[in-house]
Amino acid sequence: MVSAAQQQLHAFDDGQALANALSSSIADALRAAIDTRGEALIAVSGGSTPKRLFEALSHELLDWSRVTVTLVDERWVPDSDERSNARMVEALLLQHQAADAEFVPLYVETATPEAGIGEVRARVNALKQPFDVVVLGMGPDGHTASFFPGGDRLGEALDVSNTAQVLPMRAPGAGEPRITFTLRELLQAQTLYLHIQGDDKRVVLDQAEQPGSELPIASVLRAARPLNIYWCP
Ligand SMILES: O=C1O[C@H](COP(=O)(O)O)[C@@H](O)[C@H](O)[C@H]1O
- pLDDT value at residue 3: 53
Mean of pLDDT values over 80-96: 98
How far is it, in rounded angstroms, from Cα 201 to Cα 176? 22
Task: List ligand 1's pocket residues with C-beta within 6 A.
Answer: 45-49, 72-73, 75, 85, 137-139, 146
Measured in Å, residue 62 CA sits from the centre of ligand 1 at: 27
- pLDDT value at residue 1: 44
Residue-wise pLDDT tens digits, 59-81 = 999 999 999 999 999 999 999 99
List strands edge to edge, sheet with 73-75.
Answer: 73-75, 178-181, 166-169
- pLDDT value at residue 35: 98
Nearest to 129 by CA among 47, 72, 177: 72
Mutate to test the pocket of ligand 1, among 51, 52, 70, 73 (most ligand atoms within 8 A of CB): 73
Residue-wise pLDDT tens digits, 192-232 = 999 999 999 999 999 999 999 999 999 999 997 899 999 99
ipTM computed for the complex = 0.99
Mean of pLDDT values over 94-114: 98
Burial 7-38 (b: 16+ CB within 10 A, else e): beeeebeebeebbbbbbebbbebbbebbeeee
**Domains of the chain, earliest start first:** 8-232 (3.40.50.1360)
pLDDT at 6 over 60: yes
* Among protein residues, the one whose CA lies closest to atom 2 of ligand 1: 47
pTM of the model: 0.97
Residue-wise pLDDT tens digits, 8-54 = 999 999 999 999 999 999 999 999 999 999 999 999 999 999 999 99
Measured in Å, residue 36 CA sits from the centre of ligand 1 at: 31
Residue-wise pLDDT tens digits, 128-151 = 999 999 999 999 999 999 999 999
Ligand 1 atom closest to residue 46's alpha carbon, by position in its atom list: 14
- pLDDT value at residue 225: 82
How far is it, in rounded angstroms, from Cα 84 to Cα 191? 25
